[in-house]
Structure 1
């Protein structure tokens, strides 16, 4: 990312007869494909973080710019017999204006209520001294952060969010924001990736509304409406009346139209039926 640093993992091998020339004063030099010394990386902005005496040439370049994009080769100069350019040790650096978005795993989220959910957010950490900060919104539970080294020795910042799925989380947009620090005085750069939670839950808050409300004359029409929150949505409603332990079916559907009479003094009930469970509401 332009304005930030870049750490290049690097190691090299030497012939046995050259190892004796290694010393702490050796210098790591990176040259471009046109064989010019990297004018964009003066000594004061280049940090040799690897131990050259152990053949570790890991280097951090500070305040990268888009015009620094190029192929770079590693050269070792020990100011003695050992001066060698390693043509097999090269890296293609592409400096972009903006950092990549973090990765969320899983990329889609559909769980049952009560399930323990783990969502992992990972973001490249090309600037090893200043890895990105990962921020979860909303804060649904605890999270654990760590740095991980990939097979190519590059680093990745990882944060795992853990929470118990509730029906309150259904439709919740869960976001992970990676905040990258810049070195050129420009404000930090945030990039965000989100996933929408789909929580499957049985009917809740089943209610019955009556129209018209209040006392009604005998033989007048009354409309009963049953509603319930569930995922997946309730598709089947049944209406029945209880008399002791006996239940009598009086209708089906979201809306029930009845004629008010003395026989309807018994309490009618609405039953919302999802795929596997149901909830009853007494009116």
Structure 2
């Protein structure tokens, strides 16, 4: 919160503080000394003309009216900046919606929605697997995908231990694959059998 203040040249500022609670007849407590705020507020000003104040890691509970106050060496030299600064913090919502249910090989449109107050030209950057996409305009909230593939690929099964397996010993089969969507479960079955043996990635016999 950028802030400046002025006072009489005959006064000397002894104390400066920010607070968010005023009680008649009581001197307010500086937020830098308040147990609830002391860890994420900081006074960046001085005792001259700068009264800048910062709040880190803002939460909805920080929504309040904040006042700057300074005390001089004069008997009645106590001043509070009115009407104060009103801070309203709200939770941010960011959701991506798909235009319709799609299957592999179809086109799909992804749209980003947010409850934030945006500027006239906001910037949207779409990511795929943690990397920025190269096939979309970065200032658009809509991403058009020419085709989508969700089917798992490169499916393989490895055996551990490898080599000859002795009757009566244990062996673990591990299935690996690549998929655009997370794999919820693995189904193991014997050839020409429908009985499900396991729903984990590893199957031990």
Category of TM-score, reference length = shorter chain: 0.3 to 0.5
Structure with the greater alpha carbon radius of gyration: 1
Higher strand share: 1
Highest RCO, 1 vs 2 (Cα 8 Å, sep ≥ 6): 1
> Which TM-score applies when normalising by structure 2?
0.40
> Which TM-score applies when normalising by structure 1?
0.31
